Each structure stands twice: as C-alpha cells, then as structure tokens.
C-alpha cells in the first residue's frame, strides 16, 4: 500500500469512528430531550456528555476528511491524541466499572487503534507520486 492508500484508509476509519459517535450522541440527545429539559443534575450531565460525544464525532470526521486524507501531521495528532484520550477515558471511567457494556464499548477504541495505526504508517511512508 502506498502512503496515499494508508492515509485514505486512516481517514475512512476515523470517519467510521466519527459516524459511530455522532450516531450514538444524536440518538441519546434526542432521547434525553424527548421529555423536555433535564430535571436533575445527573440528567443534565448525561445530556452534556452526549452533546460532547456528538461534537467529537463531527470533529473526527472533519479532521479525517480535510487533514488525515492528505496525510497532515497536524491532522494525525488531532485525531490520534484527542480521540485516543476520549476512548481511554471512556474505557477507564465507564466501561471498566461496568456502567457501559464492555463488548459494545470496545468498538470505538478498536476503530481508533486501526485508524491511528494506518495514519502512522502513512506518515512514515509518504506517497512518492
């Protein structure tokens, strides 16, 4: 695979990560708002969390399409670090203690890991066009 293909694959995988998180976030926000404004602090925190998940999903897609696809170093670090921190925090704070299904929770980090591996190879072996 040339650098182009690695960066395109990374961008596609980061886009998948973004779509998964945006889909989850939007569906949960709609569900949280179905009965009106949050009535408790816990409900408000849940709504805020899913708004953040939606935003991070959109950011992942934007960076993937505009930067990772063209093998940008800044794009690499944005999606590798920001999404990695989010996934690690999710695993440690929500999945490991059992607040989220571990099997379902591992999908995002696995997609992130594959995307970051492809982006790393792309940066190390740039296209020679």
pLDDT in single tens digits along all 129 residues of the chain: 555 899 999 999 999 999 999 999 999 999 989 989 999 999 999 999 999 999 999 999 999 999 999 999 999 999 999 999 999 999 999 999 999 998 889 999 999 999 999 999 999 988 654
Cα–Cα distance, 93 to 78 (Å, whole number): 22
Residue 3: the pLDDT is 59
DSSP letter for 36, please.
Answer: S
Radius of gyration over alpha carbons of the chain, in Å? 16
Q: Per the structure block, which two tokens stand in for 106?
A: 């591992």
| Residue 21 phi, psi dihedral angles, 5° rounding | -75, -40
Cα–Cα distance, 71 to 126 (Å, whole number): 8
Closest CA to 21 of 55, 61, 57, 51: 57
Question: What pTM value is reported for the model?
Answer: 0.91
Residue 2: the pLDDT is 57
Residue 126: the pLDDT is 80
Residue 125: the pLDDT is 87
Q: What is the dihedral of CA 122, 70, 77, 114, to 10 degrees?
A: -50
61-64 long-range contacts, Cβ below 8 Å, gap at least 24?
A: 61/14, 61/15, 61/18, 61/19, 61/22, 63/14, 64/10, 64/11, 64/12, 64/14, 64/15, 64/18, 64/115
Residue 35: the pLDDT is 84
Residue 38: the pLDDT is 92
């Amino acid at each position: 695979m040339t650098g182009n293909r690695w960066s395109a694959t990374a961008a596609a995988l980061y886009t998948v990560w973004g779509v998964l998180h945006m889909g989850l976030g939007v569906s949960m926000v709609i569900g949280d708002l179905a009965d009106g404004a949050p009535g408790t602090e816990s409900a408000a925190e849940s709504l805020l969390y899913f708004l953040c998940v939606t935003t991070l999903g959109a950011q992942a897609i934007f960076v993937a399409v505009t930067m990772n696809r063209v093998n940008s170093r800044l794009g690499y670090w944005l999606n590798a670090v920001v999404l990695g921190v989010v996934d690690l925090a999710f695993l440690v704070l929500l999945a490991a203690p059992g607040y989220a299904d571990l099997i379902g929770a591992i999908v995002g980090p696995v997609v992130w890991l594959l995307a970051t591996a492809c982006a790393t190879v792309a940066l190390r072996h740039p296209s020679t066009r």
